[in-house]
Every structure is written in C-alpha cells, then in structure tokens.
C-alpha cells in the first residue's frame, strides 16, 4: 500500500498483494480499520478504480456495437 497525508486527506493506493485477485480482502480490512478507529473523524471516503487499457478497449467496443445497432 502506498499512502500519503496532505491537509487531513489520506491518499491511498492499494498495490497487488502476493496473491493477485485478493486486493479486495486487503481493501476491506483497511476500510474496516479506518471505520473502527476513526469513525468520529471521517467525513467521507471516496473510492476510485483506475481503468486499465484492456478495460478501456472493451468499453470502446461496447459503445461501437451499441451505436451500430441504433442506426
């Protein structure tokens, strides 16, 4: 996990663990720990998932198919 704190904002990046596909377990434990220890100080939690180039390519193909069907 890479993380930094700037003006009371924590920016965290979850890096793949030794067992790929298990990031959700680490992420779940991290969020649970934050909620347990700092619930009175947390205003919001924003989660963003980056789009990989493979996923971006698939999304473009789906959009093209939908466009073709409508015309």
What is the reported pTM?
Answer: 0.50
Q: How far apart are CA 35 and CA 30, in angstroms?
A: 9
The closest alpha carbon to 15, from 1, 25, 28, belongs to 1
Distance of CA 24 to the CA centre of its chain: 9
Distance from the first to the final alpha carbon of the chain: 47
* pLDDT at position 69 over 70: no
Beta bridge partner(s), residue 11 = 4
pLDDT digits (tens, 9 = 90+) for 25-58: 888 888 899 899 989 988 888 888 777 655 555 6
The residue segments making up the domain with residue 27 are 2-70
Least confident interval from 3-7, 19-23, 64-68: 64-68
């Amino acid at each position: 996990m890479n993380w930094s704190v700037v003006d009371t904002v924590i920016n965290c990046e979850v890096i793949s663990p030794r067992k790929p596909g298990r990031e959700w377990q680490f992420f779940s434990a991290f969020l649970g720990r934050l909620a347990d220890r700092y619930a009175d100080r947390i205003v919001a939690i924003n989660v963003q998932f980056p789009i990989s180039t493979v996923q971006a390519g698939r999304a473009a193909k789906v959009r093209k198919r939908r466009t073709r069907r409508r015309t």
